[in-house]
């Protein structure tokens, strides 16, 4: 075994005469059942680590679970919550709806979310092991790297990207993407293209950007990684990679194109502006990110480069560094290309139109994921080198400490609703009342808090800031509805600072809203049909009875 800096064992490349290639040959020569058994234990351990981080840290529903699972329910049951703008918009994540959505037909949302987390994190554990196994990491190093990655995710991000939390399509996409990255490291281009293509079908942006990073790394292989399969032509490898990627990614590409279709160029531009300038600016426009996010990401990059230098130039990890570096180069290129005054305002100049169309594709997310991945792998390798060289008694303490902090450190993902326990209890009570006492198609609107309305009340909403469609026409309509409700709110309070019965009737006439839920909005000069310590529910047609009330009296 070769020895790296400071007496640590270095990871040899396939062409360095080290033991990695021999080990991989022995593995591939072993019977399939033996190889499966060898993988089962580490994958099970990684799965347990991921489940612990998800279930102990992120309550159900997680931040995006109401968004994904209610849309999945409507995909399988179009009659559920009829008239909801978001649910009736173009399905943007069809693969997720097909894979997980059917659970919502047979299980309550919270149980479907738990089953979905088990399934998604199983794929993620498998993909992480495939990546670590290609790097000749054993189970201990793979677990250590995963613990560090979870810690980095808990401590911060650049563009708000995360991998482990609730269940959504990108959890599957990252698992498949890591498997594709591992296959590429093992010089199996067809398998790499297949897994990266399936990742793209699961989540077009996650899989697409990861494929772009791997493709750029392959193009620069002779320059950056001359020891990486020099006997094969770059063109042949790239063609095999791209062909298999396209075959596996084709369904996701077709579905994504149909979801972002636009009736005309102006609607498309308006939708892109809405997403980039304020709805998703915290993800899409680096020039609006908080300074703390930039500082955090700069520190991650500096630490990654420091550990990369300590790993040795012939390490297999260098190939991961090249992929991560390519994703970083793309992100920094987008930052420079989209520089300009903020906030963006309509009408946009020709340059700003081009910038907005570029920013909508979330080009920062892959560097936001792969830089922490590369850093965590280097950190695990550094830890393993110290353990092998010195065998300290405290060897597991750093790993256990990283995992404990990752699970327990305070963070917004621990309380996705942003409500206190008392307010959250009252919110669920109000939603339960609406579900039990209103018609199934009754259109509702939350004036203040609007967390998981469809999840808890199972009624269509007029508009919800979180539940923005992804097709251009739906985005523009979503923005129009937000503006209309805001205008009504201001007009109703403009005269005497109170909302009258006539104001409520006007809201119903203009929007079709039947129930208005509020906590701070008002005061409203109409008795609520339901009230608790925090929330009030008003009918927009004062004096009308709920379906449940009339049915009760008829009995």
pLDDT digits (tens, 9 = 90+) for 265-304: 999 999 999 999 999 999 999 999 999 999 999 999 999 9
- Residues 488, 463: contact at Cβ < 8 Å? no
Q: What pLDDT score does 554 carry?
A: 29
> How far apart (Å, rounded) are the C-alpha atoms in residues 230 and 502?
78
SS3 3: strand
CB 444 within 8 A of CB 462: yes
The answer to whether the peptide bond before residue 343 is cis (omega within 30 degrees of 0) is yes
Residue 265 tokens read as 């160029």
Q: How far apart are CA 138 and CA 19, in angstroms?
A: 14
User: Strands across the sheet with 444-446, in order?
Assistant: 444-446, 515-518, 536-539, 530-531
210 CB contacts (<8 Å, ≥6 apart)? 177, 180, 181, 196, 199, 327, 366, 370
DSSP state of 414: G
pLDDT of residue 229: 58
Task: Work out the number of other CB atoms within 10 angstroms of the CB of residue 519.
Answer: 18
Phi, psi of 280 (to 5 degrees): -125, 25
Hey, which residues does 524 pair with through a beta bridge? 499
Which of 417, 459, 551 is closest to 60 using CA atoms?
Answer: 417
3 state SS of 539: strand
**Predicted local confidence at residue 22, as pLDDT:** 41
> What is the H or E stretch that residue 133 is in?
helix 109-134
The low-confidence residues of the chain, meaning pLDDT below 70, are: 1-35, 222, 225-232, 311-315, 543-555
Per-residue pLDDT of 34-85, as tens digits, reads: 667 788 999 999 999 999 999 999 999 999 999 999 999 999 999 999 999 9
Q: Which pLDDT score, from 0 to 100, does residue 460 have?
A: 98
Contacts of 543 (CB under 8 A, 6+ apart): none
The residue among 470, 479, 473 whose CA lies nearest residue 204 is 470
Query: 517 - beta bridge partners?
Result: 446, 537
How much is the pLDDT for 408?
A: 96
- Structure tokens, 120: 């998604």
Q: For residues 43 and 125, what is the distance between their CA atoms, to the nearest angstrom?
A: 6
Q: Residue 282 corresponds to which tokens in the numbers above?
A: 């915290």
Strand, coil or helix: 444? strand
Q: Give the helix/strand (H/E) hosting 324.
A: helix 317-337
DSSP designation for 499: B
Distance from the Cα of residue 510 to its chain's centroid: 35
Alpha-carbon distance of 448 to 521, in angstroms, equals 7
Of 416, 423, 446, nearest in space to 54 by CA: 416
Residue 289 corresponds to which tokens in the numbers above?
A: 């990110």
Strands 536-539 and 530-531, by their bridges, are antiparallel
Whole-angstrom Cα distance, residue 94 to residue 313? 42
């Amino acid at each position: 075994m070769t020895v790296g800096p400071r007496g640590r064992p270095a990871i040899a490349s396939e062409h360095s005469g080290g033991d990695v290639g021999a080990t991989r040959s022995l593995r591939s020569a072993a019977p399939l059942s033996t190889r499966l058994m060898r993988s089962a234990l580490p994958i099970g351990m990684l799965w347990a680590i991921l489940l612990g981080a998800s279930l102990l840290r992120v309550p159900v529903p997680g931040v995006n679970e109401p968004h994904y699972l209610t849309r999945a329910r409507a995909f399988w049951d179009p009659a559920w919550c009829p008239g909801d703008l978001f649910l009736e918009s173009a399905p943007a994540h069809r693969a997720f709806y097909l894979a997980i959505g059917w659970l919502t037909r047979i299980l309550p949302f919270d149980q479907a979310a738990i089953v979905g987390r088990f399934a998604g994190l199983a794929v993620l554990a498998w993909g992480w092991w495939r990546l670590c196994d290609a790097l000749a990491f054993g189970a201990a190093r793979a677990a250590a790297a995963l613990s560090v990655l979870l810690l980095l995710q808990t401590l911060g991000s650049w563009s708000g990207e995360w991998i482990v939390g609730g269940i959504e399509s990108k959890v599957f996409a990252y698992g498949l993407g890591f498997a594709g990255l591992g296959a590429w490291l093992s010089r199996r281009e067809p398998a790499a293209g297949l897994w990266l293509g399936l990742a793209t079908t699961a989540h077009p942006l996650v899989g697409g950007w990861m494929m772009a990073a791997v493709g750029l790394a392959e193009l620069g292989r002779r320059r950056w990684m001359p020891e990486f399969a020099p006997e094969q032509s770059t063109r042949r490898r790239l063609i095999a990679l791209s062909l298999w990627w396209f075959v596996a990614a084709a369904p996701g590409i077709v579905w994504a194109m149909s979801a972002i279709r636009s009736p005309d160029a102006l609607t498309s531009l308006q939708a892109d502006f809405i997403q980039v300038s304020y709805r998703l600016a915290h993800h899409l426009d680096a020039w609006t990110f908080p300074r703390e996010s930039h500082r955090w990401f700069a520190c991650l990059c500096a630490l990654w480069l420091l550990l990369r230098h300590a790993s040795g130039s012939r390490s297999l990890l260098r190939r991961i560094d090249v992929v991560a570096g390519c994703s970083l180069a793309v992100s920094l290129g987008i930052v420079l290309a989209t520089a300009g005054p903020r906030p963006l305002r309509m009408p946009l100049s020709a340059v700003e139109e081009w910038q907005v169309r570029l920013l909508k594709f979330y080009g920062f997310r892959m560097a936001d994921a792969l830089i922490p991945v590369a850093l965590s792998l280097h950190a695990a390798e550094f830890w393993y080198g110290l353990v092998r060289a010195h065998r300290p008694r405290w060897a597991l303490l750093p790993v256990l400490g990283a995992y404990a902090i990752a699970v327990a450190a305070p963070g917004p993902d621990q309380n996705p609703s942003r409500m206190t326990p008392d307010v959250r209890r009252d919110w669920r009570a109000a939603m339960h009342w609406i579900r039990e006492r209103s018609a199934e198609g009754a259109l509702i609107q939350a004036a203040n808090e609007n967390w998981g309305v469809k999840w808890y009340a199972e009624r269509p909403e007029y508009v919800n800031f979180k539940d923005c469609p992804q097709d251009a026409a739906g985005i523009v309509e979503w923005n129009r509805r937000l503006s209309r409700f805001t205008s009504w709110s201001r007009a109703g309070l403009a005269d005497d600072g109170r909302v009258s019965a006539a104001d409520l009737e006007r809201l119903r006439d203009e929007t079709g809203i039947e129930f208005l839920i509020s906590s701070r909005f008002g005061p409203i000069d109409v008795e609520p049909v339901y009230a608790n310590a925090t929330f009030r529910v008003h009918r927009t047609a004062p004096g009308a009875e709920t379906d449940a009330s009339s049915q009760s009296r008829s009995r």
